[in-house]
Amino acid sequence: MTDKSPAGGAHARRDEDILVITLDHPPVNALSADVRRDLAAAIDAAQSDPQTRAILMVGAGKNFIAGADIREFGKPPKPPALPDVCNQIEASSKPVVAVLHGAALGGGLEVALAAHYRVALASAKLGLPEVNLGLLPGAGGTQRTPRLIGARAALDLMLSGKHLSADAALKAGLVDAIAEGDDALTAGLAYTRQLLAQGAGPRRSRDATAALADKAAALAEAAAAGAQVAKTLRGLYSPAKIVEAVRAAIEQPFDEGLRTERALFLQCLDSPQRAGLVHAFFAERETTKIPELKEARPRRLEKIGVVGGGTMGAGIAVSVLDAGLPVVMVEQDDAALERGRARVAQVYDLLVKKGRITVDERDGRMARFTGATTYDALDDADLIIEAVFEDMDVKLAVFAQLDRVAKPGAVLATNTSYLDVNRIASATRGPADVLGLHFFSPANIMKLLEVVVGNHTAPETVATGFELARRLRKTAVRAGVCDGFIGNRILAVHRQAADMMMEDGASPYDIDAAVREFGYPMGPYQMADLAGGDIGWATRKRRAATRDPALRYVQIPDRLCERGWFGQKTGRGFYLYPDGARQGTPDPEVLAIIDAERQRAGVAPRPFTHEDIQRRYLAAMINEAANVLHEGIALRPSDVDVVFLSGYGFPRYRGGPMHYADSVGLDRVLADIRGYAKEDAAFWKPSPLLVQLAESGRDFASLNQAA
Ligand code: 3HC
Ligand code: NAI
């Protein structure tokens, strides 16, 4: 017991009359089978040890406990089960104290709630984030939390998955006290001694009654939460189960409530949504495992330059200012610079208006912003991000200037959406310092950053790109050079599949509805209207000369653009936006244009069910993603998943397109594609990687393991 097992566990030693149990499973003390076994054994041994008067649980390292061991989900369960360990802690005849620092999340907080007293350090963050993994708190959390803090506060914690600070947890009634200092053991021992001096005995959360005393009010709170869930968390499986479990806490005796919780937890555990969300959790943590980060360290990042103050340049500047770094923005002339500065200021003014930041915070961020109309102002920047027009000649001219003024070792980045990063790098004398940093719009909000690695990009440059992402709290995914990198390249293909369905008989409104039904917040045509049809139009014109004549080209979007219908910003696109409305309404004129195009193209329209639409849309996405993997543009399937989850609104509970493909079966996806190829073999060409995997009975996940 006193030995620390290499795989992690718990070890116990006595400090005078207090048995200190240290949870020790780096990096976050997740409650693996070994930890549970050691913890249970230590609690058990303490009961009959005459020299132990109280028990203190403390986490080794920076955290108390980050929850159940997520890697164990979906595998055969190993005893002892966490709910049993929690019950055993609560049943202790000697007082049990938990001292919380760092993460006290999920099962970690449940262990603490099973203890008789809780003291938190300022660093503690408490939460029940199981909902983010498609689960509910399954170790008594749904039963003990409402008994301690009431139904409404417990539901809020469990349905949002948010973290509470030590102060907020004290106010809510989740902890009994906040301790000074940053040493958990010292604080925990002092608190436990104080309790012993006061003659405190066990105090069990299961017996707390005050918070649920008004049963009718508590049930009404649960009903209100249920109605809210049905409205705002539509499509998600576990939130309704959380509400059901809390209702059990209100209505049932504790032990019966625990049984209800267990049954609901197992239903969630078995759900495909749990598998998708857990996949997403790990996929996001895999993206930094790239060869360059193994061999190189990032360069210094103290000052950032941004060239171009349009939509993207301004958003990137805000993102950098938010991270506490100074920005110098370069524009073509004073008027354009003023517009760029105004865009940045507008974002902050809005945040002040919404009460999200204070006036002082806005002023502090704007004080770090400077602007210039000459490139020389960039001579002390450590990293410069170009966000000028999407035009190769303009970009080449800008990079030639940057090459002239940038200090040695400065990293030069382009935010191009599609253009060849290698060619852009060739405008400089140091292509090793050049890479793509592809932000998504709005750049201060969207989490994704594609870090595009060119043929000559140095590992140190890549490491610096990832470091910038870390500082900006973005999810960086490594991508290789091709037209559109990972995300936009794949998007172009499934958008083409959607356009073909539109010409063949589905309305854009049907397609959007089917894609929303799949779980996207909006469909491709709502998205196009939001982004602005002119961007895609410019790309199509650029590609016109090199387009494969064998590939079908649907002209409907061009017909709209020719009329100046670019979407929300022009008041109409695929939808109508009367009087600046943000929500579009279907447009009969658009349907008439589509009809005319069908006639021109000689297409007899046919019906598409929502399922037909979803299958074609997803098949096109998965097939192109397989090509992207095959060519090494993405390092691993889970990176493609992260791109679509954090940049394109793919429903997180489905895990991303690659995980989704595995869940329906690659043989089915391939069969679909081969079926569609009978209509259009030029477009529906099965990816060699997809064929190889499907025919050998493998899945994309097997490539993650190999990466
Ligand atoms: N189980 C297994 N591994 C975990 C884990 C967990 N609960 N939490 C984190 N890890 C792993 C990560 O995968 C990562 O591994 P890697 O280094 O091999 O990539 C490593 O620990 C460090 O994690 P982060 O990179 O996320 O570190 P941060 O310092 O940025 O964040 C954290 C720490 C806030 C604790 C964050 O990891 C986190 O949110 N973890 C998950 C918390 C959670 O969801 N808990 C609930 C679990 S479900 C549950 O408890 C069910 C119960 O009710 C029965
Ligand atoms: P934009 O047209 O809004 O802004 C471009 C800005 O660059 C203008 O303000 C212009 O004055 C300035 N500019 C042009 N030439 C310049 C020069 N030589 N020196 C300094 N400034 C110059 O364009 P947007 O949308 O911001 O796009 C910029 C880049 O970001 C493009 O490469 C685009 O493909 C890419 N991008 C755009 C996304 C979007 O959704 N808008 C998403 C991701 C990338």
Poorest-pLDDT segment among 180-194, 354-368, 530-544:
530-544
- Which atom belonging to ligand 1 lies closest to the Cα atom of 70? 1
Q: Examine the domain organization and report whether 490 and 526 are in the same domain.
A: no
Last residue of a domain, one of 581, 605, 629: 605
Peptide bond into 146 cis (omega under 30): no
Query: Looking at the predicted structure, is the pLDDT value of residue 705 above 90?
Result: no
pLDDT for the residue 4: 42
The rounded distance, in Å, linking the Cα atoms of 327 and 368 is: 6
pLDDT for the residue 72: 94
- Which atom belonging to ligand 1 lies closest to the Cα atom of 83? 54
Chain position carrying tokens 């809210």: 228
Q: Examine the domain organization and report whether 193 and 306 are in the same domain.
A: no
Is residue 283 one of the residues assigned to a domain? no
Last residue of a domain, one of 575, 590, 605: 605
pLDDT for the residue 178: 98
Question: What average pLDDT does this structure show over 346-360?
Answer: 97
Could you tell me if 507 and 480 are in contact, meaning their C-beta atoms sit under 8 angstroms apart? Answer: no
Q: Spell out the residues 6+ positions from residue 78 whose beta carbon is closer than 8 angstroms to its own.
A: 33, 72
Task: Give how many domains the chain has, as a whole number.
Answer: 4
Nearest ligand, CA 305: 2
| Summary mean pLDDT of the chain | 96
Distances (CA, A) of 222 to 225, 228, 266: 5, 10, 21
Q: Distance, CA 391 to ligand 2 centroid (Å)?
A: 9
Q: In the 3-class helix/strand/coil scheme, how is 613-679 assigned residue by residue? A: HHHHHHHHHHHHHHHHHHCCCECCHHHHHHHHHHHCCCCHHHCCHHHHHHHHCHHHHHHHHHHHHCC
130 as an active site residue: the answer is: yes
The rounded distance, in Å, linking the Cα atoms of 325 and 304 is: 7
Of the candidates 348, 56, 70, 364, the residue with the CA atom closest to the CA atom of residue 187? 56
Q: Examine the domain organization and report whether 679 and 700 are in the same domain.
A: yes
Q: Examine the domain organization and report whether 139 and 196 are in the same domain.
A: yes
Residue nearest to atom 24 of ligand 1 (CA): 285
Q: Examine the domain organization and report whether 494 and 531 are in the same domain.
A: no
Could you tell me if 481 and 421 are in contact, meaning their C-beta atoms sit under 8 angstroms apart? Answer: yes
Question: What confidence tens digit (pLDDT) does each residue in 135-168 have?
Answer: 999 999 999 999 999 999 999 999 999 999 999 9
- Which atom belonging to ligand 2 lies closest to the Cα atom of 395? 18
Of the candidates 99, 169, 163, 113, the residue with the CA atom closest to the CA atom of residue 141? 113
Question: What average pLDDT does this structure show over 488-495?
Answer: 96
CATH of the domain at 28: 3.90.226.10
pLDDT for the residue 706: 64
- Which atom belonging to ligand 2 lies closest to the Cα atom of 416? 32
Question: What confidence tens digit (pLDDT) does each residue in 513-532 have?
Answer: 999 999 999 999 999 999 89
**Which tokens is 43 given?**
């609690």
Q: Distance, CA 169 to ligand 2 centroid (Å)?
A: 45
Identify the residues whose C-beta falls under 6 Å from ligand 1: 27-28, 30, 66-71, 82, 103, 105-107, 110, 129-130, 133, 135, 137-139, 141, 282, 285
DSSP result, 91-118: H-SS-EEEEE-SEEETHHHHHHHHSSEE
Q: Examine the domain organization and report whether 584 and 625 are in the same domain.
A: no
Residue nearest to atom 17 of ligand 2 (CA): 332
pLDDT for the residue 7: 63
Q: Distance, CA 103 to ligand 1 centroid (Å)?
A: 9
Distances (CA, A) of 169 to 41, 86, 155, 251, 334: 29, 20, 14, 25, 50
Query: Looking at the predicted structure, is the pLDDT value of residue 2 above 50?
Result: no
**Which tokens is 530 given?**
């939001």
Burial (CB count within 10 angstroms: exposed 0-12, middle 13-18, buried 19+), residue 124: buried
Query: Looking at the predicted structure, is the pLDDT value of residue 59 above 80?
Result: yes
Interstrand relation of 103-105 and 125-127 (parallel, antiparallel or unpaired)? parallel
Residue nearest to atom 9 of ligand 2 (CA): 310
Q: Distance, CA 415 to ligand 2 centroid (Å)?
A: 8
Q: Distance, CA 66 to ligand 1 centroid (Å)?
A: 6
Is residue 287 one of the residues assigned to a domain? no
User: What domain range includes position 595?
Assistant: 521-605
Question: What confidence tens digit (pLDDT) does each residue in 109-123 have?
Answer: 999 999 999 999 999
Q: Examine the domain organization and report whether 69 and 97 are in the same domain.
A: yes
Is residue 163 one of the residues assigned to a domain? yes
Chain position carrying tokens 């002209």: 555
pLDDT for the residue 234: 79
Mutate to test the pocket of ligand 1, among 36, 70, 131 (most ligand atoms within 8 A of CB): 70
Q: Examine the domain organization and report whether 467 and 490 are in the same domain.
A: no
Rounded to an integer, what is the distance from CA 629 to the centroid of its chain? 21
Q: Spell out the residues 6+ positions from residue 502 whose beta carbon is closer than 8 angstroms to its own.
A: 508, 511, 554, 556, 594
292 as an active site residue: the answer is: no
Q: Examine the domain organization and report whether 572 and 619 are in the same domain.
A: no
The rounded distance, in Å, linking the Cα atoms of 261 and 587 is: 49
Could you tell me if 82 and 110 are in contact, meaning their C-beta atoms sit under 8 angstroms apart? Answer: yes
Q: Distance, CA 438 to ligand 2 centroid (Å)?
A: 12
Is residue 545 one of the residues assigned to a domain? yes
The rounded distance, in Å, linking the Cα atoms of 255 and 140 is: 10
Is residue 290 one of the residues assigned to a domain? no
Q: Examine the domain organization and report whether 138 and 266 are in the same domain.
A: yes
Could you tell me if 440 and 647 are in contact, meaning their C-beta atoms sit under 8 angstroms apart? Answer: yes
Is residue 573 one of the residues assigned to a domain? yes
Question: What confidence tens digit (pLDDT) does each residue in 559-575 have?
Answer: 999 999 999 999 999 99
Nearest ligand, CA 389: 2
Q: Examine the domain organization and report whether 243 and 379 are in the same domain.
A: no
Residue nearest to atom 34 of ligand 1 (CA): 103
Query: Looking at the predicted structure, is the pLDDT value of residue 272 above 80?
Result: yes
Question: What average pLDDT does this structure show over 416-443?
Answer: 96
Could you tell me if 641 and 475 are in contact, meaning their C-beta atoms sit under 8 angstroms apart? Answer: no
The rounded distance, in Å, linking the Cα atoms of 173 and 32 is: 28
Peptide bond into 657 cis (omega under 30): no
The rounded distance, in Å, linking the Cα atoms of 459 and 433 is: 9
Mutate to test the pocket of ligand 2, among 306, 307, 311 (most ligand atoms within 8 A of CB): 311
Could you tell me if 303 and 382 are in contact, meaning their C-beta atoms sit under 8 angstroms apart? Answer: yes
Could you tell me if 21 and 115 are in contact, meaning their C-beta atoms sit under 8 angstroms apart? Answer: no
Q: Distance, CA 67 to ligand 1 centroid (Å)?
A: 7
Is residue 291 one of the residues assigned to a domain? no
Q: Spell out the residues 6+ positions from residue 62 whose beta carbon is closer than 8 angstroms to its own.
A: 101, 102, 123
DSSP result, 434-455: EEEEEE-SSTTT--EEEEEE-S
Burial (CB count within 10 angstroms: exposed 0-12, middle 13-18, buried 19+), residue 5: middle
Q: Examine the domain organization and report whether 174 and 218 are in the same domain.
A: yes
Q: Spell out the residues 6+ positions from residue 486 whose beta carbon is closer than 8 angstroms to its own.
A: 450, 477, 479, 628, 633, 634, 639, 640, 643
- Which atom belonging to ligand 1 lies closest to the Cα atom of 105? 45
Question: What average pLDDT does this structure show over 182-204?
Answer: 97
Query: Looking at the predicted structure, is the pLDDT value of residue 1 above 70?
Result: no
- Which atom belonging to ligand 2 lies closest to the Cα atom of 312? 26
CATH of the domain at 617: 1.10.1040.50
Query: Looking at the predicted structure, is the pLDDT value of residue 8 above 80?
Result: no
Query: Looking at the predicted structure, is the pLDDT value of residue 269 above 80?
Result: yes
Of the candidates 420, 484, 488, 451, the residue with the CA atom closest to the CA atom of residue 644? 488
pLDDT for the residue 707: 64
Helix 254-269 to helix 82-91 angle (10° resolution) is 160
Is residue 513 one of the residues assigned to a domain? no
CATH of the domain at 454: 3.40.50.720
Question: What confidence tens digit (pLDDT) does each residue in 433-461 have?
Answer: 999 999 999 999 999 999 999 999 999 99
390-526-675 Cα angle (round to 5): 95
Active-site pick, 110, 244, 386, 624: 110
Nearest ligand, CA 163: 1
How many residues belong to the chain? 707
DSSP result, 179-222: ESSS-HHHHHHHHHHHHHHTT-----GGG--GGG--HHHHHHHH
The rounded distance, in Å, linking the Cα atoms of 621 and 156 is: 36
Active-site pick, 90, 130, 221, 450: 130
Nearest ligand, CA 377: 2
Identify the residues whose C-beta falls under 6 Å from ligand 2: 307-313, 330-332, 336, 387-390, 394, 398, 415-417, 439-441, 531
Q: Distance, CA 417 to ligand 2 centroid (Å)?
A: 10
Q: Distance, CA 5 to ligand 1 centroid (Å)?
A: 20
- Which atom belonging to ligand 2 lies closest to the Cα atom of 314? 26
Query: Looking at the predicted structure, is the pLDDT value of residue 419 above 90?
Result: yes
What interface predicted TM-score (ipTM) does this complex get?
A: 0.96
